A = this chain, B = another copy of it.
Amino acid sequence: MTRTPVHAVGAGMVRFGKYPKSVTLEKMAVSAARAALSEANATPQNIDALYLGTVLGGSVAGQRVAAQLGMSGQPVTNLENACSSGATAVRDAWVAVSTGLHDVVLVIGAEKMTDRISGGILADLSDLDAATGLIMAANHAMSARRYMHDHDATRAQIAAVAVKNHAHSVHNPFAQYQHAISLARVLEARLIADPLGLLDCSPISDGAAALVVANTAGLARLGVDRNHPRILGCGLVSGTLHDGTRSINEEDISRRGGEAAWNITGIDPSDVDFVEMHDCFTIAEIVRMEGLGLIPRGEGGRWAEQGLTGLGGKLPVNPSGGLLSRGHPVGATGVAQACELTWQLRGQAGGRQVAGATTGLAYCKGGTVAGTDGASVTTLVMQA
């Protein structure tokens, strides 16, 4: 496959949070897109195609957004891979632009969850495990218990992930939560699924994020230089997280997702300077970093407690605040991760800047946790 260099030339978001009905998916998506277009020195007429990721956005969401944005006639593709829908849209955009099918494309991830969901995400009741109570939080609670048992890890080590990610997003103007939280507050929060409490869980969120992606011809069209961060590639794998024969914490899909990234991009895990990780629950950040091979198995809890995954640490994870604190409007999350990589690699991340960041990885996961089917993982690698 012949590939031309691909650059992220514009990133834009609306602040994640809970918005009234009048703030529609289309409005949020258009706002995020305009911000990304502005950074890219682009107009909607400069764009060859739109890729939009959403889960709850309804049919032809991308076409609705394109019309409101003033794009007229360009190809629009809607992607759905559950909570990794936005990340899958980023991958499709990378494929389209790296192969020269298109030269400049717009990617949007958007979700208006509060119109559709009250309380937690309902599990698929056709899944027998889910119907009998094995919902997302219960799965991750089992994961946490097993992790603590296997590795002599403590509840406080797991909770440290929430403390860290909230501390990071104090400096993220697009984060749903922009306040620090204490370890005591995480430990004392209302129990959701023992041992995980409310602050171990990512929130229900509304939001949108957008990215403009261009190849060399696209840079020339927009009149922007080659100094924008490069998208080296994006792995996409499917399968089960757990097959019942291993520990719940040996996520084979994470290992394979990492391998896909290393194979496609040619980078080595040791090249990664920081990670945007799908921390839908505190324990998930730890287990997935270990699954990728970026933290030795069993060490993730201690790394969090000792600040090794915090800003200024050995390998900062979720400088944006992650799903736990930036928020998790499901289809928007993968694009927001790509925005964070872009800003970090440009050195524009302000108080949450990872010093000297030159290579970033974003891991996004969608689909079921427990069942034998239906998970999807993307691994996006970008470089300054």
Contact A55 B59 (CB under 8 A): yes
Q: What residues on B are CB-neighbors of A142 within 8 Å?
A: none
Q: Is A63 an interface residue (CB 8 A)?
A: yes
Contact A374 B64 (CB under 8 A): yes
Give the complex CA separation of A75 and B88 in angstroms: 10
Give the complex CA separation of A55 and B78 in angstroms: 11
Contact A366 B237 (CB under 8 A): no
Give the complex CA separation of A283 and B79 in angstroms: 31
- Min CB–CB distance A116 → chain B (angstroms): 13
Contact B82 A238 (CB under 8 A): no
Within 8 A of B (CB), among A82-114: 82, 88, 91-92, 95-96, 99-101
Pick the contact of A76: B2, B72, B74, B376 (CB < 8 A).
Answer: B376
Tell me which of A2, A64, A68, A82 has the highest count of chain B C-beta atoms within 10 A of its own C-beta: A64
Q: Is A273 an interface residue (CB 8 A)?
A: no
Q: Which residue of B lies closest to A58 (CB)?
A: B124
- Min CB–CB distance A309 → chain B (angstroms): 28
Q: Is A41 an interface residue (CB 8 A)?
A: no
Query: Interface residue count for A (Cβ, 8 Å)?
Result: 50
Within 8 A of B (CB), among A222-241: 236-240
Q: Is A128 an interface residue (CB 8 A)?
A: no
Q: Is A367 an interface residue (CB 8 A)?
A: yes
Give the complex CA separation of A49 and B372 in angstroms: 19
- Min CB–CB distance A113 → chain B (angstroms): 13
Contact A81 B77 (CB under 8 A): yes
Q: What are 30 contact pairs spanning A and B, CB under 8 A?
A: A1-B101, A2-B2, A50-B238, A58-B124, A59-B124, A59-B367, A60-B81, A60-B82, A60-B366, A63-B81, A63-B239, A63-B367, A63-B374, A63-B375, A66-B373, A73-B256, A74-B237, A74-B238, A75-B236, A75-B237, A76-B81, A77-B79, A77-B81, A77-B88, A77-B91, A77-B92, A78-B80, A79-B80, A95-B99, A95-B101
